């Protein structure tokens, strides 16, 4: 029996491509380098699997960038079908989960989660469906590159060679390499003439060389503030760690800061500067500076940040309020790729057909974080991976149909 398709990588993008292909009765092998599939997917869902963001299409697509998304309405985005999200967006992700008997709910911010919050029930149901459709999962199969039309793998049984009619690459980017996304595929594709933009960390924290007094606040959340970076604003929570700052509120504007935008923190975003100044003026003069800040700001973490990043602090209430409303976010650079949630960079739009087929390797398609796009956390990343996996799978299916006609 001939092998129709090999999907390399068993993360969300690869599993979606395999789902599309095997649902039509094609013989599909999914090759995964790690001992178990979808490790990054499961790790991302440990604190609650954010499937997608239930918002209007224009707002949703505006959160994506990279050569495939120079901007939401760019020629590249239109040509490549917005990674397939015009046909497989938030509502389709919700329907996909429900089709696997996974109940979901939408939170107050529009983020969509499984009712049980975890990713493992969805993954189990998905793998069962793939098995029922005939897809074969082979773990500990590490792809070593092309040999002519063949795919070469290193496996526990020794080297293996497969020659499918089509291939879908879904090998991930370069973030969280211990979970399998180590970009080991780069030499094979660059040698084949595939254009790849350099990887950079995305959705990452930033290093900060804290002074000794800040150690008392390591592990504490920063809440009720706004971070401004260029035109972007984040109101999400973030965390002070021994190494620096991290968390959803940082990740939301990390790309802007990484790319050079100056950032400042508004420690009292719901108060006008004059009102905050009046509160500082009313604080008893006998209080120490630290206690005065804590009383007015209502949070020792905010007070600590103002003392850390705002010195020398002015004494006048209006100047002190101005400092609290525009506190420079001081950092020592982005965390490295190994600690980033995702990456920017990857296979460029110019290297791909609209069906996500590699121009340099006909019959080979790519999906997921291998491609040059980025988005913030909050459901955007997973939706992009699922949609691009589906688009690559449909492209591979169309290729098979053309070859048979």
* CATH code for the domain of 352: 3.50.50.60
Same domain, 190 and 268: no
- DSSP-based three-state secondary structure for 26: coil
In a domain, 248, yes or no: yes
Same domain, 214 and 187: no
Same domain, 211 and 324: yes
In a domain, 333, yes or no: no
Give pLDDT, residue 21. 98
Give 308-316 contacts, CB < 8 A, sequence gap 24+: 308/210, 308/211, 308/213, 308/214, 309/265, 313/289
pLDDT digits (tens, 9 = 90+) for 250-262: 999 999 999 999 9
In a domain, 336, yes or no: no
Same domain, 15 and 161: yes
Same domain, 29 and 176: yes
- The pLDDT > 90 percentage for the chain reads 91
Tell me the pTM.
0.93
Q: What is the mean pLDDT of residues 143-149?
A: 95
Same domain, 85 and 228: no
In the chain, the number of structural domains is: 2
In a domain, 313, yes or no: yes
Give pLDDT, residue 63. 92
pLDDT at 274 over 60: yes
Query: Residue 47 — very low, low, confident or very high, per pLDDT cuts 50/70/90?
Result: confident
Q: What is the mean pLDDT of residues 371-380?
A: 95
Same domain, 119 and 161: yes
Answer for the pair 189, 371: CB distance below 8 angstroms, yes or no: no
Give pLDDT, residue 73. 87
pLDDT digits (tens, 9 = 90+) for 282-314: 999 888 888 999 999 999 999 999 999 998 998
Q: Which domain-ending residue is among 328, 360, 382?
A: 328
The range of the structural domain enclosing residue 126 comes to 5-201+341-404
Q: Which of 135, 99, 112 is nearest to 15 (CA)?
A: 135
pLDDT at 379 over 60: yes
In this structure, are strands 196-202 and 342-347 parallel, antiparallel, or unpaired? Answer: antiparallel
Q: What is the mean pLDDT of residues 338-344?
A: 93
Same domain, 250 and 219: yes
Answer for the pair 239, 219: CB distance below 8 angstroms, yes or no: yes
**Residue with token string 């980033």:** 340
Answer for the pair 159, 51: CB distance below 8 angstroms, yes or no: no
Query: Residue 70 — very low, low, confident or very high, per pLDDT cuts 50/70/90?
Result: confident
Give pLDDT, residue 156. 97
* 352/83 Cα distance (integer angstroms): 11
Same domain, 168 and 19: yes
Same domain, 18 and 122: yes
In a domain, 380, yes or no: yes
Query: Residue 271 — very low, low, confident or very high, per pLDDT cuts 50/70/90?
Result: very high
Same domain, 189 and 218: no
Helix axes 380-404, 90-99, angle to 10 degrees: 80
Average pLDDT, the chain: 95
pLDDT digits (tens, 9 = 90+) for 5-41: 999 999 999 999 999 999 999 999 999 999 999 999 9
pLDDT at 180 over 70: yes
Alpha helices, H only, 263-316: 273-282, 289-297, 300-309
pLDDT digits (tens, 9 = 90+) for 188-204: 999 999 999 999 999 99
Give pLDDT, residue 247. 94
Of residues 94 and 292, which shows the higher confidence score? 94
In a domain, 334, yes or no: no
* 83/80 Cα distance (integer angstroms): 6
Whether the CA torsion 64, 345, 17, 100 is positive or negative: it is: negative
Q: Which of 389, 292, 51 is nearest to 397 (CA)?
A: 389
Same domain, 178 and 279: no
8-state DSSP, 146: E
Give pLDDT, residue 216. 97
In a domain, 335, yes or no: no
């Amino acid at each position: 029996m001939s092998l129709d398709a090999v999907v390399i990588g068993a993360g969300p993008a690869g599993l979606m491509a395999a789902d599309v292909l095997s649902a039509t009765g094609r013989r599909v092998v999914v090759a995964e380098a790690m001992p178990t599939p979808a490790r990054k997917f499961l790790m991302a869902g440990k604190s609650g699997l954010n499937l997608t963001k239930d918002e209007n299409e224009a707002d949703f697509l505006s959160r994506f960038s990279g050569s495939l998304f120079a901007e939401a309405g760019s020629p590249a985005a239109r040509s490549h079908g917005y990674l397939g999200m015009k046909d497989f967006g938030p509502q389709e992700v919700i329907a996909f989960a429900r089709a696997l008997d996974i109940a979901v709910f939408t939170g107050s911010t529009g983020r969509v989660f499984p009712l049980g919050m975890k990713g493992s029930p969805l993954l189990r149901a998905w793998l069962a469906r793939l098995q029922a459709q005939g897809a074969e999962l082979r773990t500990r199969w590490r792809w070593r590159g092309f040999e002519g039309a063949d795919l070469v793998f290193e496996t526990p049984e020794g080297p293996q060679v497969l020659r499918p009619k089509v291939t879908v690459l879904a090998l991930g980017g370069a973030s969280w390499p211990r979970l399998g996304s180590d970009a080991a595929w780069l030499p094979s594709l660059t040698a084949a003439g595939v254009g790849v933009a350099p990887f950079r960390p995305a959705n990452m924290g930033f290093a900060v060389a804290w002074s000794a007094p800040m150690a008392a606040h390591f592990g504490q959340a920063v809440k009720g503030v706004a971070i401004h970076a260029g035109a972007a604003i984040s109101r999400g929570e973030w965390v002070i760690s021994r190494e620096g700052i991290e968390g959803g509120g940082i990740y939301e504007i990390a790309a802007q800061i990484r790319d050079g935008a100056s950032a400042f923190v508004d420690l009292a975003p719901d108060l006008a500067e004059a009102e905050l100044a009046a509160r500082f003026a009313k604080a008893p003069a006998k209080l120490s500076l630290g206690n005065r800040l804590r009383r007015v700001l209502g949070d020792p973490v905010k007070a600590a940040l103002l003392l850390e990043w705002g010195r020398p602090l002015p004494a006048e209430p209006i100047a002190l309020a101005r400092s609290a409303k525009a506190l420079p976010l001081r950092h020592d650079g982005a965390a490295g790729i190994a600690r980033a949630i995702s990456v920017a960079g990857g296979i460029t739009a110019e290297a791909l057909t609209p069906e996500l087929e590699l121009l340099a390797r006909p019959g080979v398609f790519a999906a997921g974080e291998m491609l040059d796009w980025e988005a913030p956390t909050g459901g955007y990343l997973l939706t992009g991976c699922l949609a691009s996996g589906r688009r690559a799978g449909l492209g591979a299916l169309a290729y098979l149909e053309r070859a048979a006609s």
